[in-house]
Structure 1
Amino acid sequence: MQPVTAGTQPGRTPKPLPTWIKLRLAAITLVKRSRLSNVIALPFGKILKLDAPANEIAAMEFVRANTTIPVPKMLDIYEPQPDGSAHILMTHVPGTVLSYALPKMTTVQIQSVVSELSGYLAQMHQLVQPAQAPAPASQAPTIGGTAQGPGYDHRLGPRVWGPFHTVADFHSYLRFGEPLEDWVHEPAVVEVHGKPEGEYQVRFSHADLAPRNIMVDPKTGKITGIIDWEFGGWYPEYWEYTKMHCAPRPQWEQWFAAIDKEEGIQKYPKELAAEEAIWLRAGPFGYV
């Protein structure tokens, strides 16, 4: 299935925000006397996300149409902008954010969540990148956003990047364009980025599978939804694993232990070591 964006939603005509939603937002602003959050709970089990990026819209629709992964169902699109962003009306995902539930969960329960997650990852990583026409049959898969345009991931700064047509070009971007010879003191980077083209498959990834983006049923521990698909797109196969470990928190130690124990999740220790070396050199402003 071809990924869809805010401007190409089949059967949906973008429209202005309904008056009842505008009144609701005005009331919230008046009561809280502060700037609105970009995610607003509405009556009747609905959620409004303001200024959702085009890539998040495309990622949710693509995954929902091609897997059984529980993602919010999009109901309507309002006020699309030239950059493809729009306000989106979605179904509310039931359950509790996993990051809130973790402290009360047993090791067995956490392992069960990770096991269920591994099944969803397997589905996601089997998604096929739609062919872009006209394109030569030999063209390598694109590394970038869901619709194979520019990607976005806060790991790479506040701007969009790419798309890239080789893993080597993506790796060069990760190194700030510096030649591999400048990284001789980081053997993991040299080893990973020096691998021949084709060594890594390009797979669809959520790219931010932290406990804050996973919803669970507090009674059963079953995953009820995976949210925040803003970074979703096509990446080298190790990206999902290394991004899980980006900016770790001490309170998530049991989560990481469960990931390392889960046989259904492929581990990429050398790639993680390479990423950690780059994170250290990049600092907070490496890709600004």
Structure 2
Amino acid sequence: MSTTKPEEPLKEEEGCFAVTCERKYYHRGGSFVKRNLRPKEYRTGARGLVVPRLAKERLRNEAESLRYIRQHTDIPVPAVYSDFEDDDAYYLVTEYVEGVNMADLSDEQKVVVRQELEGYLAKLKTLRSNRIGGPSGIVIPPYRVMRQTKRDDWDLRASAHEEYVFCHNDLSQHNVLVDPETLRITGIVDWEYAGFYPAHFEMPFYTRIGPSVALKDEVDDSVELLALLESKAEDAVEESTG
């Protein structure tokens, strides 16, 4: 007979409106808060205990990416009020952005939103660097790449030129908030995987409903992107030992 205690439900504090296997989300007044789960809060899935990868680092990267975008562009992103670590959880506190998901609009409405969105993507491509990774130096590969490897530590060789452009890397329709009356974008959210990468890392997942991974009959570029990052890492090792 098993003596394992049943998993207790996560406590939902005041203002908490959603819990996933990686995050807790809160809405308090004009603020939106998300934090990683503490180890004692980890959940059990079909394959056992779910241990989120780079949970704190992704939130730090998002905070720095939001600050960078607001400083260098007029792209609508939430203002960062605070980010900090407390009791083994990293908190990101931002402005709460009103709007509906692009995914909830009609196809005709999405055409209008897409035009504005692609204008913002063009502005992102004007932000350049000679190093792969986020504004603070954290390298968080796109989720579709992370699924292909267990590697989380990326020491990548810098380029001689500013050949990398700023990418969101998780730009699904659910991460684009829109005013349903004017069809203007009120906020682009979830910048956890953002940073400077080769331009082709930014796949147009916003053109259809679904997650930021290749769906059936779509081209899956994740192995190719992983190979590129691994080659950059090998170059860095050779440079340091040469």
| TM-score, normalising length: structure 1 | 0.54
Q: Distance in 1 between matches of 2:84 and 2:158?
A: 36
CA contact (8 A) 2:63 2:83 kept: no
* C-alpha distance after superposition, 1:24-83 (max 9, x if no partner): 953467x999989522111x221111135211111111111111111111112343589x
Aligned length: 187
Structure 1 residue ranges (4+ consecutive) displaced by more than 4 angstroms after TM superposition = 31-37, 242-246, 276-279
Aligned to 2:145: 156
Distance 1:32 1:217, change over 3 A: closer
Aligned to 2:121: 121
Larger radius of gyration: 1
Aligned to 1:201: 163
Is 1:247 the equivalent of 2:213?
A: yes
Q: Distance in 1 between matches of 2:140 and 2:18?
A: 34
| TM-score, normalising length: structure 2 | 0.63
What amino acid is the match of 1:120?
A: Y
Q: Distance in 2 between matches of 1:242 and 1:127?
A: 18
Is 1:233 the equivalent of 2:195?
A: yes
Aligned to 2:68: 62
Distance 1:242 1:88, change over 3 A: closer
Distance 1:28 1:70, change over 3 A: closer
Distance 1:62 1:276, change over 3 A: closer
Distance 1:71 1:81, change over 3 A: farther
Higher helix share: 1
> Cα offset for 1:163?
4.0
Gaps of 5+ in 2: 1-10, 37-55, 226-242
Q: Identity across aligned pairs (percent)?
A: 26
Aligned to 2:25: 39
* C-alpha distance after superposition, 1:72-107 (max 9, x if no partner): 11112343589xx731221111101112x23xx142
Aligned to 2:100: 96
CA contact (8 A) 1:207 1:244 kept: no
> Cα offset for 1:157?
1.8
Is 1:145 the equivalent of 2:134?
A: yes
> Cα offset for 1:249?
5.9
Gaps of 5+ in 1: 1-23, 130-140, 168-196, 251-271, 280-288
Q: Distance in 2 between matches of 1:39 and 1:154?
A: 20
What amino acid is the match of 1:121?
A: L
Aligned to 1:112: 112
Q: CA RMSD in A?
A: 3.8
CA contact (8 A) 2:213 2:220 kept: no
* C-alpha distance after superposition, 1:199-257 (max 9, x if no partner): x931110011110111011112111100000000111111113666853569xxxxxxx
* C-alpha distance after superposition, 1:159-178 (max 9, x if no partner): 534242268xxxxxxxxxxx
Return the structure number with greater relative CO, CA threshold 8 A, min gap 6: 1
Higher strand share: 2
